[in-house]
Structure 1
């Protein structure tokens, strides 16, 4: 079964280039295009694609507003934001809008195809450069008081959330914790449910905003004081 894709970008040449890359894959099909955010919403609602590739800077409605609108739908498509990192504010808005993937426009065709597959499967993908930018954006900020919702997480669930916030995939988290990938998926699902979060990307934002993870901190270390040989595994 083909992965259906809608491309939203105000530049026709970029849309054409993306279409060429995507349609070299036998299991992918570009089913529609849009030149602005409002059109992207209309096209996606009409065609119900698996994934929307969304530019940020577009006329009428920008890609961030369009993403937020689509992700609020009952059965939203996965959205991959295409960005040039014009500002940290845009990056933060994109995270909060609920996009499932973030790619630089200079990313390789192979990276684009991987991102589409990951997001179509219901998971999220952060470009490593995006993860670095997120960490930098939170660096130096005073540590907020953790919300009470964190108390509902088990120690293992909190550990999984920390690793996810560092940009690790389910397979990488599984390797780090020496458990099965299916176990990690179960933990991630429970974390999202308990915290009332929509997806993995919102979990990353939550982890930093709550102070559960701090920039410069080891992914597997809890933010608590250095301890006396405490092992959370």
Structure 2
């Protein structure tokens, strides 16, 4: 069971997230916090596996709460869930230790999947944000001299298809819809891709896709 702490200053948002999370047998909400100060306290008291963290809240905000929580021993994973997807919010949250960054219009199934994957040690981002991170990595020259190495890795035709769409920043559900595959099949392909390429999270896999083009 993955234990989730929901942090948001809006009661309706917390209630909606609780209903969504508890609709899954493998997830449970262990607490709710209305601001960053409460989140810091409850992270210690409740020992959640994943914290869904809003950023703009009265008092201690989400970035500072994330920084304090992630600086502790064996901290929970913090998955940011916010309305604001600009770089002024994204990069400070990542620098503070967030393991993912989703916007609040994320599809419910993708949010639940992100909670599971973050709990498992992966990084998760909304598609548009993933594309920005990949573009920044590519523009920064991280692909230089790496194409030959990526081409030496043998992938199946379907793995190539999935990899290309991950490189575009599509979510698992969007990849499944585009390729007319089941969601579990897409997850299996991505797991195989990570194993073959040595990429331990979705951002690195997306950068790998760009190196391969």
Fold shared, TM-score > 0.5 on shorter chain: yes
Q: In the TM superposition, what are the counterparts of 1:194-205 in structure 2 within 5 Å?
A: none
Query: What's 2:180 paired with?
Result: none
Report the number of matched residues: 177
> Does structure 2 conserve the Cα–Cα contact (< 8 Å) formed by 1:36 and 1:61?
yes
Residue 85 of structure 1 corresponds to: 84
After superposition, the CA RMSD in angstroms is: 3.3
* 1:173-205 Cα distance to aligned partner (Å, 9 max, x none): 844xxxx72x65xx457xxxxxxxxxx59x86x
Partner of 1:30: 29
Residues 134-154 of structure 1 deviation map (CA, whole Å, 9 limit, x = unaligned) = 34567867x69x9xxxxxxxx
Label 1:38 to 1:170 Cα distance change in 2 as closer, same or farther (>3 A): farther
- Determine helix, strand or coil for the equivalent of 1:122: coil
Normalised to the residue count of structure 2, the TM-score between the two structures is 0.69
- Mapped contact 2:40–2:69 kept (Cα < 8 A): yes
Q: Give the Å deviation of 1:111.
A: 0.9
Distance in 2, Cα, partners of 1:77 & 1:4: 10
Q: How much has 1:219 moved relative to structure 2?
A: 2.8
Cα separation, 2, equivalents of 1:68 and 1:122 = 18
Matched with 1:3 is 2
Q: In the alignment, what sits opposite 2:103? A: 104
Out of 195, 219, 224, the position equivalent to 2:211 is 219
Q: Distance in 2 between matches of 1:188 and 1:140?
A: 19
Give the match for residue 130 of structure 1: 129
CA 1:99–1:25: 2 relative to 1, 3 Å:
same
Residues in 2 aligned to 1:60 and 1:170: alpha-carbon distance in whole angstroms? 42
In the other structure, the counterpart of 1:59 is 58
**In the alignment, which residue of structure 2 is the partner of 1:224?**
none
Q: Any residues of structure 2 matched to 1:161-172 within 5 Å, and which?
A: 171-172=189-190
Runs of 5+ consecutive residues of structure 1 not aligned to the other structure:
147-154, 190-199, 205-212, 222-233
SS at match of 2:211: coil
The 2-side partners of 1:170 and 1:59 are apart by 41
Change (3 A) 1:75 1:17: same
Secondary structure at 1:218's aligned position in 2? helix
Is there any run of 5+ residues in structure 2 with no aligned partner, and where? 154-162, 171-186
Match of 1:20 in 2: 19
Which of the two has greater helix per residue? 2
Q: Match for residue 72 of structure 2?
A: 73
The answer to which of 83-92 and 36-45 deviates more is 83-92
Range that drifts further, 62-71 or 80-89: 80-89
Check the 8 A contact 1:88/1:137 in 2, yes or no. Answer: no
Q: State the TM-score, normalizing by the size of structure 1.
A: 0.64
Once the two structures are superposed, residues 192-224 of structure 1 have per-residue CA deviations (whole angstroms, 9 ceiling, x without a partner) of xxxxxxxx59x86xxxxxxxx7xxx93326xxx
Q: What secondary structure, in the 3-state scheme, does the structure 1 residue paired with 2:58 have?
A: coil
